[in-house]
Structure 1
Amino acid sequence: MTAIELITKEELREFKNEMLGEIKKLMQPGQGSTKKWLRSAEVRKLLGISPGTLQNLRINGTLSFTRIGSIMYYKLEDINKLLERGLR
């Protein structure tokens, strides 16, 4: 037979606050585990572009990529550089 452990409302509030704090840390830029490589869908979502636009960026050499099998990966660093060039 297993023992039943009861938690108090205060313990539940503390848990909630800890979880919210961790989520906020992860949502802040430069915090948490930042990926070095992104897949095509992630790049399209990040830049707000269509698959065709991403293909054009690859074809004209604007955005470099690495293909492993049928999956294309893009360096986050290269994407940031592309965005920085666009701001100037």
Structure 2
Amino acid sequence: MSEIAKLVKSNSPSQSKQWLKSTEVRKLLNISPGTLQNLRINGTLRYTKIGGTMYYKSADIDSLLEGGNNA
């Protein structure tokens, strides 16, 4: 899992952004919309909803990747 985290950090220009949209998070983690929804529902991944758009802190994504078995 740590190898994946290193690859994501080195290959993603979106990591410089503090907030990521759902589509960016899905591409970054290579997960489906349903999986992202499950991560939100079970509290694994925090989010902020503004209007109809959900935003995720890039630091939370990093923590999820470094946590290993959380996803």
Per the normalisation by structure 1, the TM-score is 0.61
Query: Given the alignment, which residue of 32, 37, 52 partners 1:70?
Result: 52
CA distance in 1, matches of 2:12, 2:27: 18
Tell me which stretches of 4 or more aligned residues in structure 1 moved more than 3 Å: 28-31
Cα deviation, 1:41-87, whole Å, max 9, x if unaligned, reads 00000000000000000000000000001000000000000000017
Distance 1:55 1:35 in 2: 21
Partner secondary structure for residue 79 of structure 1 = helix
How many aligned positions are there? 59
Question: Mapping of 1:1-88 within 5 angstroms?
Answer: 34-86=16-68
Query: Which moved further from structure 2: 78-87 or 50-59?
Result: 78-87
TM-superposed CA distance for 1:29, in Å, is 6.0
Q: Which has the larger radius of gyration?
A: 1
Of the two structures, which has the highest relative contact order with CA contacts closer than 8 Å and spacing of 6 or more? 2
Aligned-pair Cα RMSD in Å:
2.1
TM-score, length of structure 2 as denominator length: 0.75
* Ranges in structure 2 where 5+ consecutive residues have no aligned partner: 1-9
Residue identity over aligned pairs, in percent, reads 64
The one-letter code of the counterpart of 1:35 is: K
